[in-house]
Structure 1
Amino acid sequence: MKRLGVLTSGGDSPGMNAVIRAVVRKAIYQDLEVYGIYHGYQGLIEGEIKKLEIGSVGDIIHRGGTMLHSARCLEFKTEEGQLKGIEQLNKHGIEGLVIIGGDGSYRGAKALTERGYPCVGVPGTIDNDIPGTDFTIGFDTALNTVIDAIDKIRDTATSHERTYLIEVMGRNAGDIALWAGLAGGAETILVPEYNYNMEDIIARLKRGNERGKKHSIIIVAEGVGSAVDFSKKIEETTGYETRVTVLGHVQRGGSPTASDRVLASRLGALAVELLMEGKGGRAVGIEKNRLVDYDIIEALAMPHNIDKKMYDLSTELSI
């Protein structure tokens, strides 16, 4: 292999730039040429491809977002779109591709793999919902952003003696809500993986109020529903005054934590090593602090599981 490409796709996450940097510099160290593909699969189809040098990735390891930019691309879900992408790769002599992103990005990599094109998927998403890895790149940074917000909101909740509902991202996964809720001392955490009982939530609030507790924090994962709707139900049932904060895309931004930078660097380098060994169609990750790689088709078939013991613990500690 003499040339490889790298692209980022789907939602951005802190640490993507660190992956790009690792891919480019690891490849150049191994005497390979690296080409950046801008605007994800859409840019691949349209030929937005540029050779990257060592200096191209200087001063980016600490920056959030992605220097290659990102875009959604419905066309790449079609056979015609995929063939256009492969045509561009062949045109530039790119023999392997590192794809950084979440579930949708992996499905694009899977499609290329099934067409015989060597790809390696690197898990870049704040949602932490990619199978085959304990943590995705960007999750730790997003988690710390949410915890910082919870701490600030709790100050206000205490001052005004109100119940605050904080809606966090995560798509259909509750990892951000669970980890942030446990770290932030939330009284209730709602995640899509487990059913909730509105009566239990109300009863918990009333028990707290009876023992003199005048404020509460409830974390709502976006996959469960709208925090605004939950707020209305609580006010209608209890008469307690509530406030809602939807953190939104602030969770995706910011300088990546040290943990995310290290993980990104390790996984980016591993992706290059796999392609150099002629191993395409792989997905890299970390399990029990050990780097791993899976067949990307098999990885996508794995279920994403949330830590049940951690969820139970959060309930026990919020009595």
Structure 2
Amino acid sequence: MKNIGVLTSGGDAPGMNAAIRAVVRYGIYNSINIIGIKNGYKGLIESDTIDMSLSSVADIIHRGGTILGSARSKEFQESDGFKKALQNIKYLGIDGMVVIGGDGTFRGAQQLCNAGIPTIGIPGTIDNDLPYTQYTLGFFTALTTVLESVEKIRDTSSSHGRTNVIQVMGRNCGDIALYAGLAGGAEMVIIPEVEHNIEEICDKIMQGRARGKRHSIIILAEGAGDAKEISEIIQEKTGVGTRYSVLGYTQRGGTPSAFDRLIGSQMGAKAVELLKESKSNRLLGVKGNQIFDMDIEKALEVEKKFDQTTYDLTKILSI
């Protein structure tokens, strides 16, 4: 293993830079050259690369986003585009790949593995929607960002005696809304995994007001409904002034949390170690604060289990 390529693909996530830094420095420590591939699989097709050095990853561990850039590439999924990528891998002398991203990124990693390119995947997505791992890189930073916004909205919501519907990311997985709801003391969370009852939500708001509570916070995952529409229905049914906020891409940015820096660093080093040991077709994950690796095909077949315990606890503590 003389040359390892590293790329980030799909949506960016805080902690990606920590993983890139670890890949580069752990690789150089083991006398392995690291080639940075810009803008994900698109850069692999276009041979848009940079030779990484110790100085190229200096002072990036605390930065959000990804210094390599990220993009989604439909061309990579097509036969001609994939052939170009393989040709460039051969031309660049890349012996193995480290890819950082989510489900789509790992599908691309699986293609590389099937084509005989040793590849290791690092889960980098704020949605925490990869079932084989307990947590993904960037999730806890996004959660902290959401909580900061919730606290600020709560201040103005309380001042005006309003209900606020806060929409967060999560098309198919409601983990950001669920965990933020529990940690932020929301009155209700609305997530794709559970069908919501608008009458129940309105009843809860009115019960709170009956005991003197001036405001209510509802956290909505984007895949479970439209914040504007839900806020209008709540105001119509309760007569309580209701506003909505869509947090959007603020959730992707920001300084990575200590946890995301730690697991990013540990995973980056582990990925290089596995390639150095001639191991391939593996995805890295976190369980019980330990980094583990798993066969890529088996990992992608794992079904997401809904965290019913946390959901029930959120409802109990918000009475």
| Alignment-derived partner of residue 228 in structure 1 | 228
- In structure 2, the residue corresponding to 1:69 is in which secondary structure? coil
> How far apart in 2 are the matches of 1:153 and 1:293?
40
Distance 2:223 2:181 in 1: 15
How much does 1:285 deviate?
Answer: 0.7
Partner of 1:67: 67
Aligned counterpart, 2:203 = 203
Which is worse superposed, 13-22 or 209-218? 209-218
- What is the CA distance between 1:158 and its match in structure 2? 0.6
Is the CA contact 1:130–1:136 (under 8 Å) kept in the aligned structure 2?
yes
Q: Does 1:259 align with 2:291?
A: no
Cα RMSD, aligned residues only: 1.0
**Corresponding position of 2:9:** 9
Residue 122 of structure 1 is matched in structure 2 by 122
Residue 209 of structure 1 deviates from its aligned partner by 2.0
Matched-pair contact (CA < 8 Å) for 2:171–2:192: no
Query: What is the match of residue 291 of structure 2?
Result: 291
Aligned to 1:43: 43
How far, CA to CA, are the matches of 2:221 and 2:165 in structure 1? Answer: 10
Distance across 2 between alignment mates of 1:279 and 1:233: 55
Identity %: 54
Q: Is the 8 A contact 1:174 1:306 kept in 2?
A: no
Deviation at 1:94, TM superposition (A): 0.2
Which deviates more, 6-15 or 80-89?
Answer: 80-89
- Distance in 2 (CA, whole Å) between partners of 1:139 and 1:59 is 22
The corresponding residue for 1:194 is: 194
Q: Deviations over 1:57-105 (max 9, x none)?
A: 1110010110000111111111222221111111000010000011111
Aligned to 2:274: 274
Offset at residue 203 of structure 1 (A): 1.4
| Maintained 8 Å contact 1:128/1:135 | yes
Does the residue aligned with 1:267 lie in a helix, a strand or coil? Answer: helix
- Tell me, in whole angstroms, the C-alpha distance in 2 between the residues paired with 1:86 and 1:171: 32
Tell me the CA shift for residue 183 of structure 1.
Answer: 0.6
**Which AA in structure 2 matches 1:45?**
I
For structure 1, the 5+ residue unaligned runs are none
Distance 1:87 1:259 in 2: 37
Provide the aligned length of Structure 1 versus Structure 2. Answer: 319
Alignment deviations for residues 152-201 of structure 1 (CA, whole Å, 9 cap, x no partner): 11111110000000000123111110111111100000111112111211
Secondary structure in 2 aligned to 1:149? Answer: helix
Match of 1:311 in 2: 311
The question of whether the paired residues in 2 share the 8 Å contact of 1:141 and 1:256 is answered with yes
* Alpha carbons 1:9, 1:101 under 8 Å: kept: yes
Distance 2:15 2:251 in 1: 13
TM-score normalized with structure 1 length: 0.98
- Structure 2 residue aligned with 1:91: 91
CA drift of 1:3 comes to: 0.7
* SS of match in other structure, 1:223: helix
TM-superposed CA distance for 1:129, in Å, is: 0.8
1:132–1:284: 8 Å Cα contact kept in structure 2? Answer: no
- 1:298 maps to a residue whose letter is K
Measure the CA separation in 1 of the matches of 2:79 and 2:282: 21
- CA distance in 2 between counterparts of 1:54 and 1:89 reads 23
Counterpart Cα distance in 2 of 1:225 and 1:98 = 36
Q: What is residue 80 of structure 1 aligned with on the other side? A: 80
What is the aligned partner in structure 2 of residue 103 from structure 1? Answer: 103
Q: How much has 1:56 moved relative to structure 2?
A: 0.9
2: CA distance, partners of 1:46 / 1:218: 45
Deviation at 1:210, TM superposition (A): 2.1
Residue 217 of structure 2 aligns to which amino acid in structure 1?
I
> Unpaired runs of 5+ in structure 2?
none
Q: What displacement does 1:150 show?
A: 0.6
Tell which deviates more after alignment, 20-29 or 70-79.
Answer: 70-79
**What SS class does the counterpart of residue 147 from structure 2 fall into?**
helix
